[in-house]
Amino acid sequence: MQLIATRAGILLSPLRVLGRGLVGFCCVWMVSLGQAAEPSAPANALAHLGVGTCAGSNCHGSNSLTKRNSGVVQNEYRIWQQYDKHARAYVVLQGALGQRIAANLGIGPAEKAQICLDCHADNVAPSLRGLKFHLSDGVGCEACHGGSEKWLGPHASGLTPHTVLTRDDGLYPTDRPVARATLCLSCHQGDDTRFISHRIMGAGHPRLSFELQTYTQIQPAHFVIDDKYRARKAVATGVQVWAVGQALALKSLVTELADQRHKGDGVFPELVFFDCQSCHHTTTNLRWQRRAATGLGPGVPHFNDANAVMLRAVAARVAPALGRALEMNIRALHQALSAGNGRPAPIAGTIAAEAQELCDLMSTYNFSRADMRAMIVALAQTSQTSDASDYAAAEQATMAFASILYSLKMDGAVDAGTYGAMRAALENCYTATRVQDAYDPRAFAAAALSIEQATPSW
């Protein structure tokens, strides 16, 4: 497992960046919420005209740092081009690691392989590519905002605010948590259109980890939420975005797990659904403990239930009965996969439906300060048990603490002193999860407890 050790830094880059993100990119604390029905996936039926068409200095390529009359800062292209890794997503395919992965898989140059381009570029059908469209622009504006075929003209000539455009115009509702989660997860976890297998990981691809609120901030955000923004968009709190992201990540993971196309090769199941460290950690560091949440014995890989562990803390506040049902079904899924008949499909379907139900409830739930405190306590307490001892769960809990802390700050619930103490405790969590191969569940448990202790009660 040499590669994992040497790539530990990259495996954990989001958490490394987040430490900076909290201070550096603090302009975005919340995102918008809308009421209209959500699309199931980004629509790609309209032509994508290319990043170049958005980048004019009178459009989104200005050097401005404050909002223009249009209601947006108009420097979005510059932020994307200079700081956003999406702008480099294609170029990394041509780098040493990209080429190594492709060579190991025997798929020819990575920058020509559809499997890689589907996530590392705006890989729409050639017939939908405008004159200024270049695959080499990586994950460009239209990969997230939708093909601009119908709206670029009127929009650019009169600077029509995006808000007067409707979904029929092809603008994707990135402001709505559910739609955003669907969009980001399609690449950051994979879905039925773009799937990343353990074979690709085995060839050297970094492990994927994702949390909607955290990643929205560290992208870094190229939008500013102020009164003008609020006037045109309903804004969801960070904690709501986090919760919706967890529910939809779990839903998508179990849906793919049950998909016969991903049943694995030979006698082995598709390993990407399992906790990576249940196989990838050294045998001299003995740390297996019985877990009530799985009911499994030693020596078997277990399903990556990090999102489910997070959801337990939310469900306990939002819908306790549903939370208990979900917990039972997750246990049944663990059993079906590793101790039972190996056929997860029926139980995965039930879990997906429950995650969706939770998502619907959370989309309109008004999280109070007491709720947020209770979730911090629940996550910190679960971290004291073997149920949340996986590295993936510790990483998710760290991002959860960060997202909840954002919301508390935005809500005016914490004064500067309390914020400083909670932020310092959060730093302990980053430290405990920074290097995957050095991860020690006991160190994380202590760090999680320090967050709980720093959280006031309301």
Name the residue type at position 131. L
Pick 81 or 385: Cβ nearer ligand HEC: 81
Output the CA torsion 84→87→92→93 (10° steps).
Answer: 140
Q: Compute the residue count for the chain.
A: 458
Contacts (CB under 6 A) with ligand HEC, residues 275-314: 276, 278-280, 301
Rounded Cα distance, 54 and 76, in Å: 9
Query: Which residues between 92 and 151 bind ligand HEC (CB under 6 A)?
Result: 92-93, 97-98, 101-102, 105, 110, 113, 115-116, 118-120, 139-141, 143-145
Interface region with ligand HEC, contact rule CB under 6 A, candidates 183-191, 340-348, 381-389, 403-411: 183-191
Task: Write down the least CB distance from residue 62 to ligand HEC, Å.
Answer: 11
Site string for ligand HEC, 12-51 (x = CB under 6 A): -xx--x-------------xx------------------x
Among 236, 250, 272, 314, binds ligand HEC (CB under 6 A): 272
User: What count of other Cβ atoms lies within 10 Å of the Cβ of residue 191?
Assistant: 18
Report, in Å, the least distance between residue 456 CB and ligand HEC: 30
The one-letter amino acid code at 287 reads R
Which of residues 65 and 416 has its CB atom nearest to ligand HEC in the complex?
A: 65
Burial class (CB in 10 A: 0-12, 13-18, 19+), 341: exposed
Query: In one letter, which amino acid is 74?
Result: Q
From CA 325, how far away is CA 331, in angstroms rounded? Answer: 10
**Could you tell me the two tokens for 381?**
């307490």
| Shortest separation between residue 290's beta carbon and ligand HEC, angstroms | 19
Show contacts with ligand HEC in window 220-239 (CB under 6 A).
222-223, 229, 233
Nearer of residues 268 and 458 to ligand HEC, judged by Cβ: 268
Q: Which one, 320 or 342, has the nearer CB to ligand HEC?
A: 342
Closer CB to ligand HEC, residue 204 or residue 441? 204
Q: How many CB atoms lie within 10 A of CB 53?
A: 20
CA distance 418 to 99: 47
Q: Does 334 bind ligand HEC (CB under 6 A)?
A: no
396 contributes a contact to ligand HEC by CB under 6 A: no
**Nearest to ligand HEC of 283, 457 (CB atom):** 283
Question: Could you tell me which of 236, 177, 234 has the C-alpha nearest to residue 410?
Answer: 236
Please state the closest distance from residue 263 (CB atom) to ligand HEC, in A.
15
Give the CA count within 13 Å in the CB-facing half-sphere of 113: 18
